Amino acid sequence: MIALLLRDLKLSFRAGGGFGLGLAFFLIVTVLVPFSVGPQSALLSTIAPGVLWLGALLACLLSLDRLLALDWEDGSLDLLATAPLPLESVVTIKALAHWITTGLPLVLVAPVLGVLLNLPVPGFSWLVISLLIGTPALSVIGTFGAALTVGLKRGGLLLSLLVLPLYVPTLIFGAEVARRGATGMETSAPVLMLAGITAASVALLPFASAAVLRINLR
Amino acid sequence: MSIAAKANALWEYANPRKFLETSERVLPFFWITSGFCIVVGLVWGFFFTPDDYKQGSTVKIIYLHVPAALMAINCWLMMLATSLVWLVRRHHVSALAARAAAPIGIVMTLIALATGAIWGQPMWGTWWAWDPRLTSFLILFLFYLGYVALWEAIEDPDTAADLTAVLCLVGSVFALLSRYAVNFWNQGLHQGASVMRAGAITGTDTEEKVSNIYFYPLLLCIVGFVLLFVALVLYRTGTEIRARRIKALLARERARG
Amino acid sequence: MTLNVTDLAIARAGIPVLEGVNFTLEPGRALILRGPNGIGKTTLLRTLAGLQPPLSGSIQGAEDQVAYAAHSDGLKPTLTVTENLVFWASVFGTVDIEPALDAFDLKGLSDRHAGNLSAGQKRRLGLARMLVTGRPIWILDEPTVSLDRNAVDMFASAVRRHLETGGSALIATHIDLGLEGEVLDVGPNKAKPKPIDDFDGGFL
């Protein structure tokens, strides 16, 4: 299991592995927001938590179609399916690798981008906390979508269509935490809901992803 | 007759031929009764009920809005049930019924959204508000779109049936979660559920609920929409079965070379 | 580990392709799978590897015993030869990749990225992977594609050594490997179309 994780991380950091693309996308989206809504700092600080959450979500989405498709194309998935590792572990590790290479970096740069959008000071810690709790759910849900569309050529657009509705609860509670944090409101209820969604997704969705992957390998 | 024997009798309809024969026999009944219920319900509702003292004649769109909204949700529940049957018992008709129902669900959702917007404009002064109910229906619409798109994208019919069935299960959980999330996120303008409440039926409830005069034609419309839905699902499932048969015959021709 | 296949029927994309497949593969033996293109050899091998369920019939002795080599090698172009092999070795819980490198003469290439190898070298690396799985039953789908004469001999002797140490191999191939093994021709097992009136189940 560790071997698979290390291999995926190594692949992502090597040339053409796509590490950093999500980050760059996040940065660009954030920079484009003031151009589209105007430079008024009051407006920007109101929308900053939501924009940062949406940007992070889209950046996560961006790398999903490589998550399993590359292993599918070169035959690794067939071989992994015949290996002693259960597919449930394979998809969990893949989701973890995706989170480490995409989700975690997004969490780390989000405060910097918060500065660009005039995020109110109390909002910074809550933004990081909400992303830290919420991004694992994004990776796990995304892995399910990637498993559904793995056998399809040009499955990328379909993948977005399938995954984005599934992202709705995570986005609502995640952005709610950041928004309430930024305005100094009570955050414990949405934090709990967000943590609940992440915990349940991490615990249950790998079974669905593995089942779907088995169907696709057939 | 034991219960088990009866249950077996039900599964007989999982045979495509048996399904086609039976559905063709009962379809005219569903078409006619649903047409009758909807026409009578709408005429009664539109022309023979008084205007609401607050909402005026705009309230009458309820005869389309509420049945469509109910069917939009029930259609997804039906797809969930047939998907489960497919995953557990692998009856092809069940999977095809889910596939056949999805576009009907899309249309019902669109009707509910459109009539809601038309109603909302005079009442709330806006075509669209990010009210929890409206938002939930919009999300439901997205789930339907994804479901149909996945069916369309996969060539092998059994794989497509399996994958969409799993998507339907997972999607149901997330749709429910979205419903709660959306409620949490915005309390909204929409009036409370107005139909399926004891108070609404007996007329003892608050003025917000639908009163008796409106209720009976509305009930008729709802029954009509349910029958229409059943008729459409049976009809479309029959079409899907025939399409599958054509595909299977073509594949056989090719295999013979 | 004996592989026992009884009355196996398999389908590709829902259409039956082979039926009534019977054979036994004892340790130390090799079985060469033959049959015209498109008959379902790959589907049969995938079924035996556990990647797809059979339509009917039984497969005994395959679970967790099979190492499968498909048309594609599952190599990562940005990893070196060693890294690729070490990965598969650790997935299968073995450690030593040296014998595998030796058997396919990959020592000199061990630090090259797999993406920079020629087609034949990649294939050799893909086959070397079989050695690090430590599994007794090898299932090989057209293993000699893009191998030169010399590499085919390397492969044949690797299989021979595997058989000598109690392993077995099922190989779909069209060329003569010089192995002493029975031949299983699946040509006569081509699935017959069902009668047209049978409208149950699979719509035919």
Compute the 3-state secondary structure of chain B and give helix, strand, coil in percent, each to the nearest 5: 80, 0, 15
Q: Which residues of B touch A193 (CB under 8 A)?
A: 181, 184
Whether C117 contacts C109, CB under 8 Å = yes
Answer whether residue B11 is part of any domain.
Answer: no
C-beta neighbour count of A122 within 10 angstroms? 14
| pLDDT at residue A195, rounded to an integer | 95
> Tell me: the pLDDT tens digits for C160-186?
888 888 888 888 888 877 777 788 887
* Tokens found for residue A201: 């997704």
Q: Binning pLDDT at 50, 70 and 90, where does residue A50 land?
A: very high
With a CB-CB cutoff of 8 Å, which residues 120-149 of chain A face chain B? 144, 148-149
Nearest by CB: A169 against B159, B170, B177: B177
> Tell me: the pLDDT tens digits for B181-201?
888 887 655 666 555 443 343
Nearest by CB: C14 against B17, B157, B241: B157
> Tell me: the pLDDT tens digits for C114-131?
888 888 888 988 888 888
- Check CB contact of B67 with chain A, cutoff 8 Å: no
Q: What percent of chain C has pLDDT over 90?
A: 0
Answer whether residue B6 is part of any domain.
Answer: no
Domain limits for position B52? 27-256
Do the chains contact at A82 and C91, CB–CB below 8 Å? no
Cβ-Cβ contacts under 8 Å for B40 (sequence gap 6 or more): B217, B220
Q: Which residues of A touch B146 (CB under 8 A)?
A: 158, 161-162, 165
Do the chains contact at C203 and B15, CB–CB below 8 Å? no
Whole-model pTM: value is: 0.89
Tens-binned pLDDT, residue by residue, of chain B (257 aa): 445 555 556 676 778 888 888 898 999 999 999 999 999 999 988 888 877 766 677 778 888 999 999 999 999 999 999 999 999 988 888 999 999 999 999 999 999 999 988 888 888 888 888 888 888 999 999 999 999 999 999 988 888 999 999 999 999 999 999 988 888 887 655 666 555 443 343 334 444 455 667 788 899 999 999 999 999 999 999 999 888 888 877 877 776 66
Answer whether residue B70 is part of any domain.
Answer: yes
Whether C136 contacts C27, CB under 8 Å = yes
Name the residue in chain C with its Cα closest to that of B96.
C203
Q: pLDDT at residue C64 above 90?
A: no
DSSP string, B194-227: -SS-HHHHHT-S-TTSPPHHHHHHHHHHHHHHHH
Which of the two residues, C99 and A147, has the higher pLDDT score?
A147
Nearest by CB: A165 against B146, B153, B182: B146
DSSP string, A155-176: -HHHHHHHHHHHHHHHHHHHHH
| pLDDT at residue B60, rounded to an integer | 82
Answer whether residue B90 is part of any domain.
Answer: yes
Query: Which other chains touch chain B, taking contact as 3+ CB pairs less than 8 Å apart?
Result: A, C
Characterize the bridge pairing of strands C15-25 and C3-12: antiparallel
Answer whether residue B68 is part of any domain.
Answer: yes
| pLDDT at residue B38, rounded to an integer | 93
| pLDDT at residue B119, rounded to an integer | 86
Compute the 3-state secondary structure of chain A and give helix, strand, coil in percent, each to the nearest 5: 80, 0, 20
Averaged pLDDT score across all residues of chain C = 84
Whether A85 contacts A4, CB under 8 Å = yes
Q: pLDDT at residue A153 above 90?
A: no
Count of structural domains within chain B: 1
Nearest to B84 by CA among B174, B175, B179, B167: B167
Answer whether residue B5 is part of any domain.
Answer: no
Answer whether residue B3 is part of any domain.
Answer: no
C-beta neighbour count of B108 within 10 angstroms? 29
Q: Which residues of C touch A76 (CB under 8 A)?
A: 74, 76
- Check CB contact of B149 with chain A, cutoff 8 Å: yes
Name the residue in chain A with its Cα closest to that of B136.
A168
Averaged pLDDT score across all residues of chain A = 91
The CA distance from A127 to the nearest CA of chain B, in Å, is 17
Query: Nearest-5° angle of CA C42, CA C46, CA C52?
Result: 130
With a CB-CB cutoff of 8 Å, which residues 58-97 of chain C face chain A? 64, 66-68, 70-76, 78-79, 83, 86-88, 90-93
* Tokens found for residue A56: 């992070």
Answer whether residue B14 is part of any domain.
Answer: no
The CA distance from A24 to the nearest CA of chain B, in Å, is 28
CA distances from B105 to A93, B98, B109, C96 (A): 36, 10, 6, 58
Q: pLDDT at residue C143 above 90?
A: no
Q: Binning pLDDT at 50, 70 and 90, where does residue C195 land?
A: low
Cβ-Cβ contacts under 8 Å for B147 (sequence gap 6 or more): B79, B102, B164, B167, B168, B171
Average pLDDT over residues A211-216: 92
Do the chains contact at C204 and B255, CB–CB below 8 Å? no
C-beta neighbour count of C148 within 10 angstroms? 12
Which of the two residues, B102 and A187, has the higher pLDDT score?
B102
| pLDDT at residue B257, rounded to an integer | 60
The CA distance from A212 to the nearest CA of chain B, in Å, is 6
